[in-house]
Amino acid sequence: EVQLMESGGGLVKPGGSLRLSCAASGFTFRDSAMNWVRQAPGKGLQWVSTISSVGDYVYYADSVRGRFTISRDNAESSLYLQMNDLRVEDTAVYYCATSSVVVNAIDAFDIWGQGTVVIVSS
Amino acid sequence: YVLTQPPSVSVGPGQTATIACGGNNIESRSVHWYQQKSGRAPVLVMYYDSDRPSGIPERFSGSNSGNTATLTISRVEAGDEADYYCQVWDTANNHGGVFGGGTKLTVL
């Protein structure tokens, strides 16, 4: 069974940092692009970042570029999101999601974790 | 690139729900759809406009033409009540995912 488990969320003050992790199992992690998508309270889904299967391509939303860094460890089947200079508007549930694991669609998000909550507040 | 969805759609049980996703020349893009029930993570219900992942009922179908992509749910059930989001990948301006604002489907 394909599973994604996020961790690392919490309460942080504006300007602070957090590192999110996503542990993957049930599929060949090194073959799949991985993504972070977030959802602010009561709002819709917002794509945050994508990393290619071997980590040679990374993409960021304009709202996080320069502050967030996506990375992966294929040996550990883990995905990360280093978040620096956090802002109140970064408050959200952060989901990790796979691409092209259960469906052959490189730009869709086919399996999602349950999410981890990040609250940025003073 | 901007995707526009109606905030809400309401239908009775057994009826057909149509959820639109508008975008400039969206027919030239591949559209994916997600269902998100209250308090749960999103689930992919349609990809590449009209392909259903394994386990998604045949009642779910999709199309994409002109400036509008559509998710259609036939014989709506109470369990279909959820938020639905369309999504494309934007390669023009900034490589990245783009979601519509979401549509709340209410089953009356």
Residue A117: enclosing H or E segment and its boundaries? strand A116-120
CA dihedral defined by B89, B92, B94, B96, rounded to 10 degrees?
10
Using CA atoms, how far apart are residues B56 and B32, in angstroms rounded to an integer? 14
Encode pLDDT of A52-95 as tens digits: 999 999 999 999 999 999 999 999 999 999 999 999 999 999 99
The residue of chain A with its CA nearest to that of B87 is: A108
Confidence band of A104 (pLDDT split at 50, 70, 90): confident
> How is residue A29 annotated by DSSP?
G
pLDDT, chain A, mean: 96
Please list every residue in chain B whose beta carbon sits closer than 8 Å to the beta carbon of residue A61: 94, 96
Say if CB B84 and CB B34 are below 8 A apart: yes
Q: What is the 3-class SS of A33-48, one letter each residue?
A: CEEEEEECCCCCEEEE
CA proximity to A30, closest of A80, A69, A79, A77:
A77
Tell me the nearest-neighbour CA distance from A58 into chain B, angstroms.
Answer: 9
pLDDT given for residue B94 in this prediction: 73
Contacts of A4 (CB under 8 A, 6+ apart): A22, A23, A24, A96, A97, A98, A111, A112, A113, A114
Predicted confidence pLDDT, tens digits, chain B (108 residues)? 999 999 999 999 999 999 999 999 999 999 999 999 999 999 999 999 999 999 999 999 999 999 999 999 999 999 999 999 999 999 877 789 999 999 999 999
Q: Which of A49, A65, A107 is the best substitution to test chain B (most B C-beta atoms within 10 A)?
A: A107
Q: Tell me whether residues A59 and B32 touch, CB distance under 8 A.
A: no
